[in-house]
């Protein structure tokens, strides 16, 4: 039995992954951004070990989630599932005046990875849209560009893949992998999504707990339990270190010490 934290698990793919892990006998801690959604999550995932409440749109909320997670004990795996989709407006409503897409999709997994006691496995939810991401690290908060929600989302999913690969490089003892769940008909994906929802939550759960040899990889990008090729920029060490530095400057927490292979 593994002990797993799934962020953003009050609905959608996070909830489905949590339900699968619970059915398979694992100890699962859920996460929701407020008390109402926490109650919904616990009602939808009977057997969950608990739920952590915290809004990942702010650095203080991210810190609260990390502190609460650590207070429950060490996890064997963390699935970084929480995300904001491509249809969101630009909205600089976070206390740090950040784009919410960047805050939730990129900064939150960065800071949670830095602050939560390091598990054996880390799983980061990316997207096939990351192939359209801009790796330039210019204007991360969309302060100078005209807002484009789809591009901001694609950028964020490229950056989270780069974060995943950076963690794999810096922490060779940890299995760190990214997942493209496909375009599936969740609330985020929308009713026009063309991929099969029944496959959309399996890979992240598999990577978190499976003893299959294929699930023992690190630094991989997976689609439907098979490794696929990620955007080459995600594996660029200069991009990775630039992203880590940008996140550290925003939240005041440096994830690693001396860069390796930068």
Residue 261 has pLDDT above 50, yes or no: no
Residue with the larger pLDDT of the pair 93 and 56? 56
For the chain, give the percent of residues with pLDDT over 70: 89
221 - beta bridge partners?
A: 178
Report the chain's terminal Cα–Cα distance, integer Å: 37
| pTM, two decimal places | 0.93
The residue written with tokens 């990875």 in the block is 113
pLDDT of residue 200: 82
pLDDT averaged over every residue in the chain: 91
The gap from C-alpha 109 to its chain's centroid, in whole angstroms, comes to 5
What mean pLDDT is predicted for residues 95-104? 90
Q: Structure tokens of 134?
A: 């801009």
Which active-site residues does the annotation give? Answer: 153, 157
Residue with the larger pLDDT of the pair 85 and 29? 29
pLDDT of residue 21: 98
What mean pLDDT is predicted for residues 181-210? 72
pLDDT of residue 259: 41
197: confidence class by pLDDT, cuts 50, 70, 90: low
Instruction: Give pLDDT tens digits for 109-119.
Output: 999 999 999 99
Instruction: Give pLDDT tens digits for 207-229.
Output: 999 999 999 999 999 999 999 99
Please provide residue 248's backbone torsions phi and psi, each rounded to the nearest 5 degrees. -60, -40
Domain ranges in the chain are 3-251
Instruction: Give pLDDT tens digits for 173-191.
Output: 999 999 999 754 455 555 5
192: confidence class by pLDDT, cuts 50, 70, 90: low
179 - beta bridge partners?
A: 125, 222
- Please give the CATH topology (third level) of the domain spanning 3-251: Rossmann fold (3.40.50)
pLDDT of residue 254: 95
Please provide residue 124's backbone torsions phi and psi, each rounded to the nearest 5 degrees. -115, 130
Instruction: Give pLDDT tens digits for 125-147.
Output: 999 999 999 999 999 999 999 99
Task: Say which residues have a Cβ less than 8 Å from residue 256's Cβ, sequence separation at least 6.
Answer: 170, 244
Instruction: Write the CA distances from 261 to 183, 213, 229, 237, 238, integer angstroms.
Output: 34, 27, 21, 7, 9
């Amino acid at each position: 039995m593994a002990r797993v934290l799934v962020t953003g698990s009050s609905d959608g793919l996070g909830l489905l992954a949590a339900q699968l892990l619970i059915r398979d006998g694992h100890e699962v801690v859920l996460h929701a951004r407020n008390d109402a959604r926490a109650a919904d999550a616990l009602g939808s995932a009977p057997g969950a070990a608990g739920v952590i409440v915290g809004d990942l749109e702010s650095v203080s909320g991210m810190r609260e989630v990390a502190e609460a997670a650590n207070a429950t004990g060490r996890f064997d795996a963390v699935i970084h599932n929480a995300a904001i989709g491509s249809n969101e407006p630009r909205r600089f409503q976070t206390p740090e005046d950040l784009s919410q897409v960047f805050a939730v999709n990129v900064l939150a997994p960065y800071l949670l990875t830095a602050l939560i006691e390091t598990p054996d496995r880390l799983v980061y939810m990316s997207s096939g849209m990351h192939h359209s991401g801009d790796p330039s690290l210019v204007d991360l908060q969309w302060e100078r560009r005209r807002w484009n929600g789809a591009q901001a989302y694609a950028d964020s999913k490229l950056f989270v893949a780069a974060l995943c690969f950076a963690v794999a490089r810096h922490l060779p003892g940890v299995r760190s992998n990214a997942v493209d769940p496909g375009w599936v008909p969740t609330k985020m994906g929308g009713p026009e999504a063309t991929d099969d929802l029944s496959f959309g939550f399996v890979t992240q759960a598999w990577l978190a707990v499976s003893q299959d040899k294929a699930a023992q990889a690190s630094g991989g990008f997976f689609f439907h339990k098979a490794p696929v090729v990620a955007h080459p920029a995600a594996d660029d060490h200069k991009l990775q270190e630039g992203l880590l530095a940008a996140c550290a400057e925003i939240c005041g927490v440096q994830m690693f010490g001396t860069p390796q292979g930068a």
